[in-house]
Amino acid sequence: MKFYALAAASVLPALFAAPAFAQSQADPGVTSEVPDNTVYDGDFISVGIGAAYGPSYTGSDDYTAFVLPIVQASYKGIDFNPRPGGIAVDLVPDADEGPNLSAGPFARIRRDRVNLDGINDRVVEAYGELDMAIEVGGTVGVGFPAVLNPYDSLSANVDIGWDVNGAHGGMVIAPNITYFTPLSRGMAASLSVNTSYVDDDYSEYYYSVPETNTLLPDEDVLPGYRADGGFDRAGVNLLIAYDLNGDLTDGGFSIVGLGGYSRLFGDAKNTPFTRIRGDADQFLIAAGIGYTF
């Protein structure tokens, strides 16, 4: 069924569309029969908006609030799943039962340190704005339904993108594993583990520090640093979604909460932007409301 494929997406798509059938509210230990048709079995669209609170740049210990608009849809067997700052398209038709494969194009916008107005650290601000990166590539994945109960799923996917806008000019590989399960007929949860691998061009652009900076007094100038590629972070996200009419299968309004933690590694951790001015531990909280029809 369609909700298995959607549950196999990353945690952000589930932020505003929790497509899964759940257990009966009357008796949480007894599962009821899966309905023949749900809003997710055919064409649908989910739109939502949320508020998030997270680091002002990768490695920052200053936090800022920002808005998350989300759109997710399926049309004639083609699924459109959001990513942070972008979208992935699944061109592989969903299987009626058994594992689901996914593959298609992927694109995202990366705005790390693009706008210095949201950065409260005057030293980091003095190192200037970066250009916006536009990463284009592909995504592949596989999802396994009914792992621990008839309505849960375990999925894995990898997004691979290259900057085509002349910013970092490099490559990012982002694997993700998600476990999704209903908690009741109207509530569902997903636990997602993710990491990312970046090449030398990406790492040098975001994590390297020049030897001098004439905009700062000598005592505030950060030590020069040359960054190389590698795995730059790993994280975990927990999401809880609740359908406002108590039924996840018929669309309508839903509300969600998300909590996330990631740890920076390698040169993302060792750069003076993180080691001296920030923190390798990164936290994120978000809440939102969405509508599916």
CA 15 to chain centre: 9
List, in order, residues 6 or more apart from 210 with CB less than 8 Å away.
127, 224
Is residue 255 within a helix (H) or strand (E), and if so which, with residue range? strand 252-264
Given this model, what pLDDT does residue 219 score? 96
Structural domains in the chain?
2-292 (2.40.160.40)
- How far CA 57 is from CA of 40, 62, 261, 279, in Å, comes to 36, 8, 15, 11
Given this model, what pLDDT does residue 13 score? 42
Is residue 33 within a helix (H) or strand (E), and if so which, with residue range? none
Given this model, what pLDDT does residue 128 score? 95
Residues 128-163, buried b or exposed e (16+ Cβ, 10 A)?
A: eebbbbbbebebbbebebeeeeebbbbbebebbbbb
User: Please, what are the averages of pLDDT over each run of 10 residues along the chain (293 residues)?
Assistant: 35 38 34 58 88 96 91 90 91 87 96 90 96 98 94 95 98 97 93 97 98 96 98 97 90 93 98 98 96 89
